[in-house]
Each structure stands twice: as C-alpha cells, then as structure tokens.
Amino acid sequence: MKVAMLTGGGDCPGLNAVMRAVVRKGERTYGDQLVGFVDGWRGVLEAETLDVSVDTFRNTLPRGGTVLGSSRTNPLKVDGGLEICKRTMGDLGIDALIAIGGEDTLGVAHQLANAGVRVVGVPKTIDNDLSATELTFGFDTAVQIATEAIDRLHTTAESHNRVMVVEVMGRHAGHIAVWAGIAGGASYILIPEEPFDIDEVCAALTRRHELGNYASIVVVSEGAVPAEGSFQVARDEKDAFGHVRLGGIGNTLASEIESRTGFETRVTILGHVQRGGTPTSFDRVLATRFGIAAIDAVHQERWGEMVALQAGNIVPVPLADAVGTLKLVDPDLYDVARVFFAG
Ligand code: F6P
C-alpha cells in the first residue's frame, strides 16, 4: 500500500516517535511505501510531499518537533478544500492517510472519512483535551517541564517573599496546570473549566501569608477566565480554526494580585518551552504504541477511526467520539488540588 502521514496543529514531543513506528512496521512488516505531507493539511492542499523511509527517522526518537513540519492550515476554510484533499490523494495514488493531530486536525480527518477518504487518526496534543483517549502523547513531557519550572520557582519565591504566577499552556482545559500544579505543590491553580474570582484568590493568598508562608506559587492555564465582573483580559487575534491566540493572562493576574494584596508578584510564562525538546520516555513509548496501532488499523481498514489509550490498552475508537466534545479536567482531580490551595 502507499500510505501517507501528516502532522497538523501545534507540534508536540513524540510526533517523530509515532512516524518512526508507522514507517518501521509499514515498511518492514507490510511492505508499504510511505510518504509524508509537508506542514499538515497545507501539504495535502498543495500536494507537497516528502518520501520517507526507515532511514528518515533514524535518531529521531529523542527529537522533539516533527520531521514533516506542521501548520494550522484548515481545508474547511478553503473553497472546495475537502475536494482538493480527496483529489490530491487520488492523483498521488495514496491508498490511506494517517492524520496525527488534535481536535482540529482530526476534525478535518473525520470530515474526510465521511467523504469516503481512507483515513485513520492518531491523537496528539500537549493539552490532553482530546476525548475518547485517556492520554495524548506530549502531555507527560509538558507536565514534566512545567513541574521542573515550578520546583525552581519555589526557592526564588521563598528568598524574596514573593508570589510567583506561572502561566502554562491549556487553551480549553487545565490538564497541564492541574498535574504540574499538584506535582509542584502550587498554592493555587486556575483553569479554564472553573472561572475564578480574583477576590477569592487574593483572600486565600493573604490567609497563607497570615499563616506564616510568605511565598506562593499560582499556576494559571493560558485559557483560564476570570469570573464575570472580576476583571478583563484582552484577547483578539485568531488562527485558521478560529481560536484566539492566548498567552498573557499571567501578566494581568500578577498585576491584579500585587495591587490587591500588596505582595510583590512576578510572572513566568512557560509558553512554547512546554512543546519543544525531547519527549519523556513515557511519551516515546505511548507515541510508539500509537504509531504501531495506526499502521495496523490501516491494514485492518478501520477508516474513520482513531487509535486511543483506554484502561492501559491501545484500542480503535470512531473519530466522531474523539472530536465531538473536549475532555475537561476531572472535577475529582481538581478537588484534590483544591485541598492545598493557599494553606
Ligand atoms: O497545541 C495546543 C497549544 O499548545 C495550546 O496550548 C496553545 O494555546 C496553542 O497550541 C499555541 O499555538 P501556537 O503555537 O500556534 O501559538
């Protein structure tokens, strides 16, 4: 078979590990010819491909990013975009496509599958907000990076009796904030799922100071929102999938905390550091398992399905289940974090 792969949306540690596994099993076990579309759906729309083989992915297991490049190009926003994608597949004689991406990339894959394209999905996002899979690769790496940063911030916060605001990624869901916040012993964690009341946050930090802890760490997801009437955060620029460009809530939050409590406050925005660099061993293994399952799914003709992690096993699920709604933070886990808020 001639099998194509693409990586779409924000990059993520482990993308190369997925493709390495697809190519290894595809070439060696099934005798497939493998090809990659460059820069996600842009490569499909413009029929730009890269021939790949086992050799292409040598030494890429520990390498972050994606050998194929990625973009947020959305074929659904292009006139006749789905038709163009179908035509490219036909013109290039591609028998099947493995789309590796998050909600947006897999949303397009789902529409293409409905239009008769032979496509299989692999779940990817450091945000871990994709439904139907317990975990996406890249998330563990991001949590690890954020936790290390919080560990480091504790000592400088304590030396200066400061509040440290740490902004992490998490557009719609606060998985990174909650996991890194619990692991790093945060004094408060703010997530998109729970609009926060700035007065409550400040009261809790003040209480903490009264108990004799003069340093605090506040972890905030970039997508966290103040409760209505609390204060305003400016957000306007949008990408091709209509998402507002986030980042910056940490700055606003820090100045609100400082002016309301009088505690000296500093902010660290981790940003793309969380997405770059080498994947953890956990993510390398998960990505490898996903890659092997994806090429197996192609040969089992499981079109319109995605490989997913459920109860420790890799299983196929309909793409429709993955892209319908986002997977949010489990309220029970947030309650665990809450016990430690500003104590
Ligand atoms: O891929 C998800 C994500 O990392 C979000 O957490 C973040 O809001 C967004 O990507 C950033 O996107 P970009 O790299 O396009 O600025």
Active site residue 330: no
Per-residue pLDDT tens over the stretch 248-289:
899 999 999 999 999 999 999 999 999 999 999 999 999 999
- Tell me: do 130 and 143 sit in the same domain: no
What is the 261 CA–ligand 1 centroid distance (Å)? 32
Instruction: Name the residue of 139, 169, 175 to mutate for ligand 1: max ligand atoms within 8 A of Cβ.
Output: 169
Domain count, the chain: 2
Q: Is residue 340 part of a domain?
A: no
| 336 belongs to a structural domain | no
Closest ligand 1 atom, CA of 11? 1
**For position 15, which CATH number holds?**
3.40.50.450
Question: Is residue 334 domain-resident?
Answer: no
Domain-located, residue 331: no
Q: Are residues 216 and 113 in the same domain?
A: no
Q: Which two tokens stand for residue 239?
A: 């990408």
Of 237, 252, 276, the last residue of a domain is: 276
Q: What is the pLDDT of residues 129-183, one digit of tens each?
A: 999 999 999 999 999 999 999 999 999 999 999 999 999 999 999 999 999 999 9
Distance 268 CA to ligand 1 centre (A): 17
Q: Which domain holds residue 129?
A: 2-138+279-323
CA of 10 to the centre of ligand 1 (A): 5
> Which helix (H) or strand (E) segment is 155 a member of?
helix 139-160
Q: How far is CA 211 from CA 41, 163, 200, 204, in A?
A: 54, 15, 17, 11
Check residue 232 and give its pLDDT.
Answer: 66
Instruction: State the distance from the centre of ligand 1 to the C-alpha of 207, rounded, in angstroms.
Output: 35
CA 129 to chain CA centroid, nearest Å: 7
Cβ-contact 169, 271 below 8 angstroms: yes
Atom of ligand 1 nearest to the CA of 243: 8
**pTM of the prediction?**
0.95
3-class DSSP assignment, residue 167: strand
* Same structural domain, 177 and 251: yes
Shared domain check, 220 and 91 = no
| Residue of minimum CA distance from atom 3 in ligand 1 | 10
Look at ligand 1, atom 1, and give the residue with the nearest C-alpha: 10
Catalytic residue among 11, 32, 104, 127: 127
Give pLDDT tens digits along the chain (343 positions): 999 999 999 999 999 999 999 999 999 999 999 999 999 999 999 999 999 999 999 999 999 999 999 999 999 999 999 999 999 999 999 999 999 999 999 999 999 999 999 999 999 999 999 999 999 999 999 999 999 999 999 999 999 999 999 999 999 999 999 999 999 999 999 999 999 999 999 999 999 999 888 899 999 999 999 998 776 676 666 777 777 766 689 999 999 999 999 999 999 999 999 999 999 999 999 999 999 999 999 999 999 999 999 999 999 999 999 998 999 999 999 999 999 997 7
- In this structure, the answer to whether residues 10 and 134 fall within a common structural domain is yes
Amino acid at 18: V
Q: Residue 198 sits in a domain of what CATH number?
A: 3.40.50.460
Does residue 330 lie in a domain region?
no
Is 328 part of any domain?
Answer: no
- Atom of ligand 1 at shortest range from CA of 72: 15
Report the Cα–Cα distance between both ends of the chain, in Å, rounded: 59
Statement to judge: residues 234 and 313 lie in one domain: no
Residues 131 and 6 in one domain: yes
Between CA 327 and CA 130 the distance in angstroms is 5
